[in-house]
Amino acid sequence: ASVVLYCGQVSDLEEDLKRYLAMQEVIGNWSGDHRKSEEARMLVQDRHNNDLPKLKKRVLDALRESLRSGRVIFRGATRSIVVKGNQKIADAVRDALGALWPTLYPKFDKLAVRITNDQRAIVAVLDGSGPSNKDVHATHIYDKAGKLDPNSPLIDAVRMYLATEQQSGRRILGKDVLAKFAAPPYGWDENAVRIGVAALLRAGAVKLLLNKKTYTNPQDSDVVEAFRNSREFAKAELVL
């Protein structure tokens, strides 16, 4: 489902925007053209320093006014953008979109964390010191005894997803796992998902395939690098 932000109509907004974009393009072209005369360069400089900022302000003011009468549309339902007192229009738009969050991401609260240092967290999980890492601790993937908790929301969801895909005969890449849990209804931090997969590998529940070579040792330098580098992880194949 898509969220549509519908802006109200404001006179001259379209024309001002076209003028701004056209002026910006001409200034950019002329500024880099050494064949232009000194007068032309001075004219461009004047437009850049005076006319362009004024036009930009007019466009931004019109956009703000347009948003004030705008609406958020989701699944056929419309929600007006309400500006409270001296509230900035940007904050009012965030409030309107934020009201949809529980509907878009009903499972977000099961892993409502943002990882601050994914590199340290990944290394900690793979070397066995995961429970002592602050970021890893926030994911609640370990129990009080410091053992991997198979019933934690992150571990359970990832394991079930891998099992379902594997049973259906589908090849699972790291990018597929990240896309699955970053999208609705989850909205989970992709770094947290990588931590969960790393923990499953550390526990012996998951194997990693890199260039068709199978890895199970969490201390292998190739494994550590694949998990630390999000691009490499995206290309890695995961097998239960």
pLDDT tens across the length of the chain (240 residues): 688 999 988 988 999 999 999 999 988 888 877 888 888 888 888 999 999 999 999 999 999 999 998 999 988 888 899 999 899 999 999 999 888 888 889 999 999 999 999 999 999 999 999 999 999 999 999 999 999 999 999 999 999 999 999 999 999 999 999 999 999 999 999 999 999 999 999 999 999 999 999 999 999 999 999 999 999 999 999 999
Percent of the chain with pLDDT over 90: 78
Predicted local distance difference test score (pLDDT) of residue 228 = 96
Share in percent of the chain as helix, strand, coil (round to 5) = 60, 10, 30
How is residue 191 written in tokens? 């770094």
Predicted local distance difference test score (pLDDT) of residue 1 = 62
Q: Are 219 and 175 in contact (CB under 8 A)?
A: no
DSSP 107-136: TGGGG----S-HHHHHHHHHHT-GGGSHHH
CA distance 194 to 154: 10
